[in-house]
Amino acid sequence: MMMLLMPILIPMLTAAISMIIWRHRKLQRWLSVFSSSAVLITALILFHDVYLNGIQVVYLGGWQAPFGISMVADLLSSILVTSTAFVALCVSIYALASMSEEHEAFGFYPLLHLMIAGVIGAFLTGDIFNLYVWFEIMLVASFGLLILGGEREQMEGALKYVTLNLLSSALFLSAIGLLYAYAGTLNMADLAQKLSLSENPQIVILISLLFLVAFGIKAAAFPLFFWLPASYHTPPVAISAAFAGLLTKVGVYSLYRVFSLIFISDVEFTHQTVLLWMGIFSMVVGVLGAAAQFEVRRILAFHSVSQIGYMILGLALFTPLAVAGGILYVVHHMIVKTNLFLISGVMHRRHGSYKLEKLGGLYRSAPILALLFAISAASLAGLPPFSGFMAKYVVITGGVGAQQWLAIFSALAVGLLTLYSMVKIWAEAFWKPLPDGAQTLSPMSDSERFCLYFPIFLMVIMTVIIGLGAEWFIQLMFATAEQLMNPQYYIDAVLGGQR
């Protein structure tokens, strides 16, 4: 059972040790890679245990649920913990060559691993207040990473980021207070059991809408999404990549958790009305924002908003097929969007800019990078045979089954506009000749090239594996959706004989 806690304990211990060896930069770098590797190994072992043996539960301090804090690993949380660990390892390797000594001196490694601990802790907790605690750990660490270096542009983005996220935290805490006052418990399994017997469903729906707004802000969903494109392009690219892959997914996970376990008394209103329109508007507004941008990281940031819409759409449709597709989309996006940010960092390393007007000729000067970008961009746009195609196909097929034709049309149109943005980056940065006066920086050393390209290779291979091995992954996501849509599995695992 200790294996359930290891993916949290390892990055927290790494953050503490990194503070102790503050002056030993090289030691910090390799500790970061070693720690991320250990987290991935323990996450894979945890996933294997859950996959074979069912939901795993640990009661902290020996206090049985619902009185103490429970840490719970079901298929959804173990899949996302594994994906998080994979992203963290890739970012840690990439940072060896991309993170400046100045940023390292300001605490990059302790903050990175504290953020990873916060993300994984949020995925594994079975207590609604403890989820808030992990959110705050993640927020503090991510804010520190966002302002690392203290440049003017970073501070402007950080102000919007922290303001809206503090609003989200205040709403989240208020919702928890109301929920505890009404139900008298904070354990999610116990909440699910008690609210299913509620005699005042209107109060439950009102509280659920507070959670919806709080988690919607965290997920960067419409309408309070603008903190994301205002901030993700400002820090060093390794930080942008980690943010793009991980932070919004905690908000999406929280929506999936509470709206499949706790708030399911009025699915027609909460899911098929509110969540559905939130998903549609997130898709459309995000992709239109991306189409208007001409800076690589801004384009990718707006597309993060758009892609969040597909994930919310899977939950909103609330059929096994759609939920399975939404979860697959989360995993796909964690990998592909992180990878596209890492690729943008290599583009910047070669020509000193993220602006499309100052880039060009990469198809000829960096053919391997061009191939890696083409695969990742095709996957993001939903072209076969990559992970993005399978995720969109399952979500849209779920929409067909639910006969939500507007949502289907929006998803298909957004896919075409996503392809337009990816073609725009390809045409400007890779195909057209390098503009006169554009920079060409010094060649990379072998070690630098390895650290920058190796994690990109890993992520490209992963999106290809998910696409080509779609049958196994879709079956896994169906099993995950079945667990989510049958809350009794979770309740029995956590409460057991305590009911």
In order along its 499 residues, the chain shows pLDDT tens digits of 678 999 999 999 999 999 999 888 889 999 999 999 999 999 999 999 999 999 999 999 888 888 889 999 999 999 999 999 999 999 999 999 999 888 888 889 999 999 999 999 999 999 999 999 999 999 999 999 998 876 777 777 788 888 888 999 999 999 999 999 999 999 999 999 999 888 788 899 999 999 999 999 999 999 888 888 888 888 899 999 999 999 999 999 999 999 999 999 888 899 989 999 999 999 999 999 999 999 999 999 999 999 999 999 999 999 999 999 999 999 999 999 999 999 999 999 999 899 999 999 999 989 999 999 999 999 999 999 999 999 999 999 999 999 999 999 999 999 999 999 999 999 999 999 988 877 778 888 999 999 999 999 999 999 999 999 999 999 999 999 999 999 999 999 999 844 4
Amino acid at 373: F
**Is 359 part of any domain?**
yes
Number of domains in the chain: 1
Judged by DSSP in three states, 360 sits in coil
**Is 103 part of any domain?**
no
Angstrom distance (rounded) from CA 454 to CA 190 = 45
**Is 331 part of any domain?**
yes
Quote the tokens at residue 175: 């919702």
**Is 498 part of any domain?**
no
Amino acid at 74: D
**Is 3 part of any domain?**
no
Quote the tokens at residue 181: 């006052």
Amino acid at 228: L
Contacts of 128 (CB under 8 A, 6+ apart): 176, 179, 186, 187, 188, 191, 258
Angstrom distance (rounded) from CA 269 to CA 247 = 27
**Is 220 part of any domain?**
no
Query: Would you say 256 and 267 are in contact if contact means Cβ atoms under 8 Å apart?
Result: no
What range does the domain containing 402 cover? 266-484
On the 0-12 / 13-18 / 19+ scale of CB atoms within 10 A, 119 is buried
**Is 341 part of any domain?**
yes
Give, as one character, the DSSP assignment of residue 295.
B
Residue 499 is predicted with a pLDDT of 43
Q: Quick one: CA torsion of 99, 103, 104, 108, rounded to 10 degrees?
A: -90
**Is 214 part of any domain?**
no
Amino acid at 237: V
Q: Quick one: CA torsion of 144, 149, 153, 158, rounded to 10 degrees?
A: 10
